[in-house]
Structure 1
Amino acid sequence: MNVLQVIPELDAGGAERTTLEIAEAVVAAGGRALVASEGGRLEGELDAIGADLVRLPVKSKNPLTIWRNAGRLADLVRRERVDIIHARSRAPAWSALLAARRTGAVFVTTYHGTYNARSELKRRYNAVMARGAVTIANSAFIADHVAREHPGLARRIEIIPRGVDLGPFDPERVEPARANAHREGWQVPVGAPVILLPARLTRWKGQLLAIEAVSRLAPRDPAPVLVLAGDAQGRDAYVREIEARAKELGVAIRLPGHVGDMPGALMAADLVLAPSLEPEAFGRSAAEAQAMGRPVIVADHGGAREVVEHGVTGWRVPPGDAGALAAAIETAFSLSPQARAAMARAARQRVEAHFSKRALQENTLRVYRELLDCRP
């Protein structure tokens, strides 16, 4: 089985991480894994698992470049005898679809987000993600969205949630010194609670809402520290807005940028937030927090609603409601050690049962094999 995945870049993100996990599974199954991309920080990991990066300008939305990429991908498919082209983003998906039609390779997509369409033209552009022989949705929320946005277009929708690698994301494997190193790096005062919001710094991820919620908490000494861990990706004006709002409201924040050791960072946190203002396709940060036994609060919409069982593995609050988020934070801080331990056990068990990397890999390979078995 030779599988070519197509994704714009290989930097931090759920789609990028899933690309590596599926490449790993293909190689482990004795197949050939190729990734067409402009590359990024995850290139080394891709190479380490035995997959091949084919550097192409697939991030571009220029129609001429998309057309040329179709030819480049078709040549690659023929040269490497690719069986399946798996597209993970819209612009390269158009190139991949054309290449599949020219070569007879099986075309598969993963619908990684809601791809909001504000016009019919944008909806038609997005529709390429529903044109696969199978369209993989990473949550029931996304499956419903695909069916609603593109009625009758998707031939077959498979719900395969993103997975957490339960090896590194295991609280038993993180030494206390590793978690303490994060707290020291964040300059957290001794005894201060750490509230971690792991997400790229973009407005819809809810950083400003989190600052507002923390400002409404009952006074504590020492005061909690809100760690906003994620890349700004050039959004310098938004970073300045975050800093100004935190200063205005008297909230202690830290902006460490990208965190390479997320298991260690999660163990350094007393509470994890995922207060996205727009629906998440899945809710990977919440799943990772649960795998590490951390209490987590998510916005009650999108895929995150499927990840967190309210009151059992964490809490769900109305999106955009700073008061409700503050109340949930107070509830989390008030947990007894016994209740906190029980929630940690339930959270870990939920991820093991429903959201593991192994399940993601096995189900994706199953889809690949079924499609190849049906090929003439």
Structure 2
Amino acid sequence: MKVMQLLPELNSGGVERGTLEIARALVAAGHQSVVVSNGGRLVPELEAEGTQHIQLPIHKKSLLSLLQVGALRKAILAEQPDILHVRSRVPAWLTHFALKGIPQHLRPHLISTVHGFYSVNRYSAIMTQAEKVIAVSSSVVDYIRQHYPACPPESIVKIYRGIDPKAFPHGYQPPAQWFHQVFLDYPELENKFILCLPGRITRLKGHETLIALMQQLKHYPQLHAVVVGGADPKKQAYLDELEQNIQQQQLAERITFVGHRSDIREWLAFSDVVLSLSNQAETFGRTALEALSVGTPVIGWNRGGVAEILSAIYPQGLIEVDHSQQLIETVKQHIEQPQHVKAVTQFSLENMCQRTLALYQSIIDEPKRTTIA
């Protein structure tokens, strides 16, 4: 079969990673894989692994993007994929209009993946208007059913995102030279109990909660927090605000920002506890799963995809949402008695890829049904 995936860009993020993973699985299984995007730094990797990339500016939330409908329609007719798989709202709308100009008998099958808890409106509804709608967690299934009742329940297919356990092996420890470099760069981290908060510097990730937590746990001199994640230039003012808050709380010696890192596996394995404190529910919670996979305990709010992962793998890490005292007590328990995380057997990348490819095949085997008017 031939599958064309459409997404805004190929730089970084969960949507992008999922696209590459499915493209890789398609090629490995002997199928044809095509990706349409505005390009980005992941394109060379995508192409090296056997996928064809078509660069079209289908990434901007702008009426000018409608100028790409003709070019997209031309690409679909030229490639004649069996399946179109849309992974974001702007590409989904452009695909919607492109298909309108293609005769019914020539249209490919249409699949979407709902990767996020989008704002609820007509613009977002396009993600639920496909033959099959992949939801990346039970929380996303509930979101679709609650907010888009017009989407037939039988069209919704839950396929958890997954990780490769070989990339995040249980019990993994960074090499000696990694430790050597980290202690050279950040000597304050040596011989400490490390609390890690991974994620971009945005108001959504719970940095203020981390600062308040460290303030409450000042009487543990061995405790040190590490924030792994960079700040977009537009978020610099927020980073400055956080650092000012840390200075005021006299926590500058207790919290270290290490910026954007490509060695996230090493940081997750190095940490004693990883925190998931986002102010909003996450659709899946890949970083929490990666931490658990290497054997590091995760403590997080009981909501969204992170709660689903913790419930299945490490329920003692679940905290009632915004219950700061329970968070403090749970971190204390982990400091005073280190916990063990069993090897993770659920949420595998292999299972995600197998189920997605099986869904593609099942749709090809069925008579065509499209929701495009």
Whether the 8 Å CA contact 2:231–2:239 is kept in 1: the answer is no
Aligned 8 A contact 1:283 1:304 in 2: yes
Q: What SS does structure 1 have at the residue aligned with 2:16?
A: helix
**1:93 matched to which residue of 2?**
92
Range that drifts further, 93-102 or 222-231: 222-231
Equivalent position to 2:149, from 148, 151, 163:
151
1:160-199 equivalences under 5 Å are 160-171=159-170, 174-177=173-176, 180-181=179-180, 183-184=182-183, 185-199=185-199
Which of 108, 123, 129 is matched with 2:111 structurally?
108
TM-score between both structures, scaled by the size of structure 2? 0.90
Output the TM-score relative to the length of structure 1: 0.89
The DSSP-based 3-state class of the residue aligned with 1:5 is: strand
Cα distance in structure 2, aligned partners of 1:311 and 1:335: 19
Task: Tell me the number of residue pairs that the alignment of Structure 1 and Structure 2 aligns.
Answer: 360
Tell me the amino acid that sits aligned with residue 169 of structure 1.
F
Match of 1:367 in 2: 359
Matched residue of 2:134: which SS? Answer: strand
Query: CA separation in 1, counterparts of 2:260 and 2:81?
Result: 34
- Give % identity: 31
Q: Distance in 2 between matches of 1:231 and 1:38?
A: 23
**Structure 1 residue 165: deviation in Å?**
1.4
The answer to whether the Cα contact below 8 Å between 1:274 and 1:296 also exists between their aligned partners in 2 is: yes
Code of the aligned partner of 2:119: N
Q: Per the alignment, in what secondary structure is the counterpart of residue 259 of structure 2? A: coil
User: For 1:309, what is the secondary structure of its paired residue?
Assistant: helix
* 156-165 or 88-97, larger mean C-alpha shift: 88-97
SS of equivalent residue, structure 2 residue 157: strand
Task: Determine which structure has more spread, i.e. the larger CA radius of gyration.
Answer: 2
Q: 2: CA distance between counterparts of 1:276 and 1:182? A: 30
CA distance in 1, matches of 2:99, 2:259: 39
Deviations 1:289-321 (A, max 9, x none): 111110101111111111002894551113334
- Of 255, 258, 262 in structure 2, the residue corresponding to residue 256 of structure 1 is 258
**Residues 266 and 294 of structure 1 are in contact (CA less than 8 Å); yes or no, is this contact kept in structure 2?**
yes
Kept in 1, the 8 Å contact 2:174–2:269? The answer is no
Alpha-carbon distance in structure 2 between the residues aligned to 1:96 and 1:182: 48
- Aligned residue number for residue 206 of structure 1: 206
Closer/same/farther in 2, CA of residues 138 and 63 from structure 1, 3 Å limit: same
Match of 1:120 in 2: none
Q: Per the alignment, do residues 6 and 145 of structure 1 end up closer, same or farther by CA in structure 2, a change over 3 Å counting?
A: same
- 3-state SS in 1 of match to 2:330: helix
Instruction: Indicate the residue corresponding to 1:30 in structure 2.
Output: 30
How much does 1:231 deviate? 4.5
Corresponding residue for residue 50 of structure 1: 50
User: Structure 1: where are the runs of 5+ without partners?
Assistant: 118-122
Quote the offset at 1:73 in angstroms. Answer: 1.8
SS of the aligned residue for 2:165 comes to: coil
- Separation in structure 1 between the aligned mates of residue 323 and residue 364 of structure 2, nearest angstrom: 47
Structure 2 counterparts to residues 248-327 of structure 1, below 5 A? 248-251=248-251, 252-309=254-311, 312=314, 314-327=316-329
